Every structure is written in C-alpha cells, then in structure tokens.
Amino acid sequence: MRHAIYLFLTLTAFWLLNSGHFSALMLSLGLGSILLVLFIAHRMDVVDHESQLVHLSPKLPSYFFWLLKELILANISVVKHIWLGNHSISPALTTVKASQKTDVGKVIYANSITLTPGTITVDLVGDRITVHALSQDNIQALETGEMDRRVSQVVN
Amino acid sequence: MKDLIAVVMLAGIYGLLSACFFVAMDAVDVAFTEASVGAGISTLLMLVAISMTGRSEQAERHKPALAFFVVLITGGLLIYGTIDMPYVGAVDAPIQVHVAPRYINDSMQEVGVPNIVTSVLASYRGFDTFGEAVVIFTAGIGVLTLLPAVRSRKDDDAIESLNESMHEQHMIVRIVAKMLIPFILLFALYVQFHGDFGPGGGFQAGVIFAAAIILYAILFGLDAARRAINQTFIQFVAAFGVLLYGSVGVVSLLNGGHFLDYSVLLADPIAGQHLGILLIELGVGCTVTSVMVIIFFHFAGRKEDKQNIKEGEAR
Amino acid sequence: MLIGATLAILVVMILAIIRGIIGPTLYDRILAVNMFGTKTVLLIALLGFVMGRPEFLDIAIVYALINFITVVGVLRYSDSFAFKQPAEKKQPEES
Amino acid sequence: MDVAIEIMSAICLLIGSFLCISGGVGILRFPDFYTRMHAVGVTDTLGAGMILIGLMLQSQDILIIAKLVMVLLMTLFINPTASHALAKAAIHNGLKPVLGNKECNHTESESSSR
C-alpha cells in the first residue's frame, strides 16, 4: 500500500509537470489516468519495494554528486583515448564483487558502472559483476571498491 | 544484406531519420506518429515475425539487378512527375487555395482546438479517421482469425522454471522496466488527452500504451502478461473503441446534425466539438492499443507454442 | 550556438549510420541504432529550440522511451532460437 | 545577467557537441564492439547532459525545464540499462571482446582478421 501511495504521488507530479493545463476537465482526466495506470501496474505486479526508490532517498543526492564527479573524470579519460587512437587502449574483462544485499542495490551499482564511460557491466550473476573496461586504469579505480561502498551506503 | 535482423535495424534507423525529417518540416504530429509507430512498434513486430520465421533471407529467386533497374525507372518517373509540382510553399499551389485556408483561419472559431492537425483529423475529416480506426480493427480481426492461439499447455512447470531463470538473467533490465512501465503508461495517457493542445492523439497514445504492455510481456513472460491483461477483455476493448467512435456519429445524427458533426452534441457548439473530439480520440486510442496488443500476443504466443511443440518432440 | 550543436549532432548521426551500415556484427548495428536514437532525442530537443516550438520535447520523451523498448526487444529475441548461430560464423555472408 | 547565462549555455552546448563528436569518432575508430560501447557511453552521458543543460539555461518556462530534466533523467536511467542489455546479449551469443592482455593474443589475431 505504501508503495502504491508513493507511486501515486510520483505519477501525479509526472502528470502535472507534463501537462501544464489546470482546467477541471484536464485535472479529472489526469486523475482518471493515474488511477488507471495504478490499476494496471497493480495487475502487472510491478508496484513493490524494488520499483519505488523512496526509502533510500536521503543519501541519494550526495551519491549523485559523487557520481557526477566520477562521470566527468571518466568522460575526459575516454575522450582522451578516442583521440589518442587504438594503441592507447587496453581493453580488459574482469570480475568485481558487489557487496549490496538487495537486488536494487546491485542494479544501482551495475548501472553506475555502466554509466561511467570506460566501464560496462557485461553480466551480473549472484553478486559477481563482470565488467568490460577500456583500460587498466578503469579497472584499478573500480577495484578500490569506493563506488561499491558508496552504493551500499545509499541502499542500506 | 542477407541478415534480416540487420535489415530491421537499418529500417529502425530509417524510421528515426524520417521522423527527424518530419520535425525539421514542422510536421509535429506526423513525427510523433513516426516516432511511436515507425521506430518503435513496427521494429518490435518485425522482430517477433523474424524470430518465428528465421533470421536469414531465402536463397535468391529473383534477379537483384532487374529489380534494382525497375526501382530506378520508377523512382526516376516519380521524380520526373514532381517537376510539374508547384514549389514548396508557393502561394498559388492547389494545396494552399482549397481547404487549407479554411482550416487555418476558421478552425479556431469552428472547432476551438489550438492544434489544427487535431481539428482537421478528428473533426473536419472525422469520417476518414473513422475509416482508419476501422482498418486497424480489421487488421486485429484478421490476425485473430488467421492465427488462432494454439494453447498446448502441458508442461507448465517447464515454463515456470524458464521464467525463473529469465528473472535471474535479466535482473537489471527487469528492475528498471518495473520502475519505467507506470510512467510510460501515464505518458501515453497524457499524449491521449493533450492532443488538443500539442502533438498527440489517439493513434500515438495507443501505440505507446501498447508498447509499454509489450515491454512487460517481453520481460516478464507472455503468461504473466496474459494474466495481467485479460485477453477477452482486450478484444472487447478493441470493438468498444470503434463502437464509441461510431456511436458518437450516430448520436450527432440523432441530435439533428450530420454524421460525426459534433457541434450538435451539446448546446454550445464549441463545447460539443471538444467533447466529440475527446470521445473519438478515446475510441481510436482504445482500438489501437488493443489491436497492437492482440497482434503482438498472437505472434509471440504462436512462437512460444511452436517452441513448446518442438521441445515436446525432442523429449 | 544552437545551430552549431544541431550540426554537430547531425554529424554524429552520420557517423552512427556509417557504423550501422558497415557493421560488421549485428551488435554493432544495434549499437548504432541505439546511439542514433539517443542522438535523435537530442536533435529533436535542439530543433524545438531552434524553431521556437518547445512542444517538440514530448516527441523527445517518446523517443527516449521507445528506444529502450526496442533495444530490450532485440535483447529478448536475441535469446531465442533464431539467433543461435554464433556471431563469428555470420561474418563472411554479411556486408 | 542574461549575457552570463547565454555564455554559460553556449559553453555547455559547445562541450556537449565536442563530446558527442568525440563519441561519434570513437564509434568508428575503436577496434571492436565492446570498446565502441564506451564511445557511445560518452555521448550518452555527459554529451547529452551538457546539451540538455545548455538548453535548460536558455528556457524560462518551468514546464519546459521540467521536461528537459525528464529527458535527462530518462537518458541517464535508460541508456546504461540498454547498454548493459546489449553487452550481455552480445557476450552470451559468443561475441568475444578484443582484449589488451598478453594471454589473449589469440582472440586478437582472430578478430583483427575481420
């Protein structure tokens, strides 16, 4: 029920921000649409703790900014590799461990890895994440486990 | 190119490209339709079809050079034909002198909808659009009759375990899709109801809505999707959409107007137009959504049945 | 500057098309389509600003969503039997 | 004030365009599928983000900014997932990555013959 309320609130915000029309007709149509979507989502069984991220929000912004910093650094390095040419890269396949307990945590970690250019999550089995990296530096950065630690903080 | 999936991918690029072209030509509604239909759902349906028939093209039975020659000639003739056409945007071009000025100048008073395309599509040319809705409905019926669902449910356990393993496999995609699906659905409904103000309307909304359901079916298995979306109900909705459209026309007849003349629906003609457009767009949306879902379910269901039969034979 | 960015995106789209046509593997083509789609989102947003009609953003959102659905669909059907031939074997036949 | 915002937006657009073109060059230049995905990652994250932020700076309407934020969030949210899906499908169907390590010279020579 809690998740349904969260979903209802986010959907309302989504509708209002998209619509920008506040006549009675539009608002009632919006309400009807949201209820219909809630009903279908309930039938599809997609409303649960996995899809509603509200319970991990307080630490999300700080993680987000840290990720942004990493993102910019990673972008610069990959762009450098692009312009330097093929001899500067040494692609590698490696496996790192995800210490998050929940599936959502693992997914956030895996997606953060993919989001930073230079590393791509190729596979996620259990708590082992297979990563394809553009160069050895990326792998070393990943193996320090800082991202892993930060994601764990956000989720738990 | 013999690999059909590569061909489908290039067709997807073509869809995106032509949508960009439409945007550049300021034809927002057409671009919207191309976005949802050309790049989205047709790629998906073609993929399903390919996964049933096989990936490679058949051995050549025709002469590619001859075909290319014919295409070249036809294209050349078509280009030759366009030489006689008036320049784009010429004042005396036929398209600018007949009905277009009326649409542009008077539609605000007569229909009262800011988006002229919607007022043309749904009000001035409501009969055409009715025909289009019926065409889509007919396509749905055709698929229903030609591809009856062969339900051979013997090894439910096997499918259950398959679903389980799929859950492990696609965990990332699944969880992200779980978060996204409600928003896709709501966005489709937003498109549905804001066709009056901006680009959008029943066709686009229906396709996006169906795409969300198809995404669900792809990721969570066809059976889960069948449980969530009742098959009989969806067939009913398809018919209901056309029926709603038609009955708006009939009600306007009964109120003393022409068929699909919404001005007589309410005392105020403008409000009547609004109501009529809203209802028929809803009808179109219902029909398009359900027909797309029906087509996908029948294609994909048939494929699954085929696989089941194959597995049964192997055992 | 808007126009400059639009042109840059167009150039990137052309590069993506080249990659889509020369392949060599199927996945390169899917990658090209995916990249082309995201660039289309950007192009439409930019064009909306160039032409002063920000309603275009609706289309951009639709593209962002549809693109995801297409790629997921490809992934799903790449698991099915029709794709089972190893990618290397296909090489000589393609291009 | 207005001029400052204009300049900032122009800078954002410029950086975004440069990143996108870099990614476009990368997708042609890199040796195999997996490395190309990294190039696409550049255009999808910071390239798209910079361009969208540049557009946000140019608009006054809160609804338009909201929609741009939505596009940005979707890009950041969807693209890694799609990339992952793609990489996973590729590796499960036996497409071998070109590796820079010594022990994998075998794969490298094999795929460079493509």
Same domain as A66, residue A119: yes
Give the separation between CA A52 and CA A6, rounded to whole angstroms: 7
pLDDT tier at C95, thresholds 50, 70, 90: very low
Sheet of A128-133, strand order: A92-97, A128-133, A119-125
Contact with chain B for residue A26, Cβ under 8 A: yes
Domain C2-93 CATH (choose: 1.10.3470, 1.10.287, 1.20.120, 3.30.160):
1.10.287
Strands annotated E in B136-270? none
Contacts of B192 by beta carbon, 8 Å cutoff, 6+ apart: A33, B200, B201, B202, B205, B206, B209, B281, B282, B285
Please tell me which of the candidates C46, C71, C78 has its beta carbon nearest to residue D51.
C46
Tokens of B45: 């349906």
Neighbours of B21 (CB within 10 A): 13
Whether A10 maps to a domain, the answer reads yes
The phi and psi torsions of C87 (rounded to 5 degrees) equal -65, -30
Helix, strand or coil for residue B273?
helix
Give how many domains chain A has, as a whole number: 2
Whether A36 maps to a domain, the answer reads yes
Give the separation between CA C80 and CA C93, rounded to whole angstroms: 21
pLDDT values of chain D reduced to their tens digit, one per residue, 114 residues = 678 888 888 888 888 888 888 888 888 888 888 888 888 888 888 888 888 888 888 887 788 888 888 888 888 888 888 888 888 878 777 777 777 654 344 343 334 333
Closest residue in C to B204 (Cα) is: C62
Model confidence pLDDT, tens digit, residues B235-263: 888 888 888 888 888 888 888 777 777 77
Neighbours of A153 (CB within 10 A): 12
Same domain as A79, residue A20: no
Task: Establish whether the linkage from the previous residue to B86 is cis, with ω within 30° of 0.
Answer: no
Same domain as A62, residue A40: no
Cβ separation of D85 and B180 shorter than 8 Å? no
Same domain as A88, residue A35: no
| Domain ranges, ordered by start, for chain D | 2-112
Contact A143, A96 (CB under 8 A): yes
Q: Crossing angle for the helix pair B269-314 and B42-53, nearest 10 degrees?
A: 20
Cβ separation of A82 and D31 shorter than 8 Å? no
Helix, strand or coil for residue B56?
strand
Same domain as A67, residue A144: yes
How many C-D residue pairs are in contact by the CB < 8 A criterion? 146
Give the separation between CA B186 and CA A8, rounded to whole angstroms: 11
Tokens of B245: 């459209």
Give the separation between CA B222 and CA A101, rounded to whole angstroms: 29
Model confidence pLDDT, tens digit, residues C5-25: 888 888 888 888 888 888 777
Whether A15 maps to a domain, the answer reads yes
Same domain as A141, residue A103: yes
Which residues of chain C have a CB within 8 Å of the CB of B198?
55, 58
Whether A84 maps to a domain, the answer reads yes
Which residues of chain D have a CB within 8 Å of the CB of B179?
77
Closest CA to B188 of A40, D56, C76: A40
Check residue D59 and report its DSSP letter. -
Same domain as A140, residue A89: yes
Tokens of B258: 């022409």
Cβ separation of D78 and B176 shorter than 8 Å? yes
Q: What is the mean pLDDT of each run of 10 residues along chain A (156 residues)?
A: 81 82 82 88 77 67 84 85 78 80 80 82 80 80 78 73
Helix, strand or coil for residue D76?
helix
Give the model's pLDDT for residue C92: 39
ipTM of the complex in this document: 0.84
Please tell me which of the candidates D70, D91, D101 has its beta carbon nearest to residue A123.
D91
Q: Which residues of chain B have pLDDT under 70?
A: 1-2, 55-62, 88-91, 93-97, 149-169, 303-315
Parent domain of A9: 2-44
Whether A53 maps to a domain, the answer reads no
Give the model's pLDDT for residue A56: 62
Tokens of A55: 């319970």
Q: Read out DSSP for B137-181?
A: HHHHHHHHHHS--------HHHHHHHHHHHHHHTHHHHHHHHHHH
Give the model's pLDDT for residue B75: 92
How far C37 CA lies from chain D's nearest CA (Å)? 10
Whether A49 maps to a domain, the answer reads no
Same domain as A140, residue A64: yes
Strand partners, A95: A130
